[in-house]
Amino acid sequence: MKKGQGSVEYLIIIAVALILIGMTIYYLRGTAENVPQNIKVNVDPFTSPSSTIDTGDVKVEVWIEQVSSGEYKVEYKIWALKSPIKKAQLALVCMNKPENVAGYQVITHTGPLKPVNYWSNYWTPVKDVYFPCYLDVYIWK
């Protein structure tokens, strides 16, 4: 064995290990970008007729408007405040699933939504017997 040959082998092993670590970090960073942020907002005309959740770069506003006796319209806005939003999915989840609520299924918005701007929509009619509810929001950045 020549003098210094062991040092070169160690350097090669260290270089290979650094390359593998770099590739792992690069791969994991790409998968982390596809994980949505989840926000839940309580909705109840009796205890919380309006709610706001502000995370700093995204804001979700929900408010309830009475449309007739015992029936309500649940409206929302999703704000992109500091960074763009690629996609958002929202579901109104109630104690008892409403039968004839227009658009009760999951609502999807696709972007990009650039700051400062918002998406909005609503569900109606939601009867008072279905409350309490919560708005389940998934946001991809």
Kindly report the pTM of this predicted structure. 0.71
Least confident of 1-5, 53-57, 126-130: 1-5
Residue 22 host element (H or E): helix 5-32
Kindly report the CA angle at 101 between 99 and 107, in degrees rounded to 5? 120
Average pLDDT over residues 98-113: 76
Please report the pLDDT score of residue 4 as a whole number: 57
**pLDDT per residue over 109-135, tens digit each?**
998 999 999 999 988 788 888 888 889
Chosen CATH of 37-140 out of 1.20.1630, 1.10.3470, 2.60.40, 3.40.1620? 2.60.40
Cβ-based neighbours of 73, under 8 Å, separated by 6 or more: 64, 65, 66, 67, 122, 123, 124, 125, 126
